[in-house]
Structure 1
């Protein structure tokens, strides 16, 4: 669902961006802006629910980015003085804010989800296999420790070889 919404947002962004170099009426601009804004809000709400459902660790920071985009969108529209001004703002909103957000921030969610699925499939439980320099040694690491290693760059050292353990690939 989220990928389908991203495609729709790209279409709306493209539609908005194309208005910059074409002659359009104020009503056409308003209609596109309204559709874009409403769909963006709907998408953000759905995406936040999805992030919550998968336990995305950066949910609050991501929600804050969504609020900033919506606020910037609203503020930009309020300081418009002409149709050309409005078209320029649409281009900025479409290209720089939203598309950059999807390409940068939303891809983090996808990477997290893929990593999570990989790790869950690797062990079939809440334990993860890590290795060190000891030949054939596998450290079975609980979820809590695994998350510290992956998200907080914590280092855990093997008691035997005194080397940092790494996720087994």
Structure 2
């Protein structure tokens, strides 16, 4: 099951949308790879990338929120921390228990469902605030 990018996910902020598209492309490449090579190494590599990239991306969003005085900063930040914590839990499980279909399924649900819900809710709300306030990154 791929995480499909579509126009409904566009926030209207090119910086944020570009990073979201990159994230979706990498997630899809991971799931495509799993169809060919089911393995520990590809999942470790992907989790390392995702942890690094989401921290970079969240840093971008958080900087924009701080710079422009976004009123829901704390709530949005909490959501970011939840995803990083969940990815870290998957990583720790992978290291301690080894590769399993359960971990792959946890990642699939986390990345497909959480990411889409976050973008459609929190990120669109942020982009709308920036647009209404006359800010664009």
Q: Which residue of 1 aligns with 2:53?
A: 39
Q: Which residue of 2 aligns with 1:94?
A: 111
Q: Does 1:27 align with 2:44?
A: no
Q: CA RMSD in A?
A: 2.1
Cα contact 2:68–2:130 (8 A) shared by 1? yes
Structure with higher helix content: 2
Equivalent positions of 1:137-148 (< 5 A) are none
Could you tell me which runs of 5 or more consecutive residues in structure 1 were left unpaired when the two chains were aligned.
Answer: 119-169
- 1:19 Cα offset (Å): 4.8
Identify the range of structure 1 (44-53 vs 98-107) with the bigger mean alpha-carbon deviation: 98-107
Which is greater in Rg? Answer: 1
SS of 2:109's equivalent?
Answer: helix
Number of paired residues? 118
Task: Answer 1 or 2: higher relative contact order, Cα 8 Å, separation at least 6.
Answer: 2
Could you tell me which runs of 5 or more consecutive residues in structure 2 were left unpaired when the two chains were aligned.
Answer: 1-14
- 1:54 Cα offset (Å): 1.6
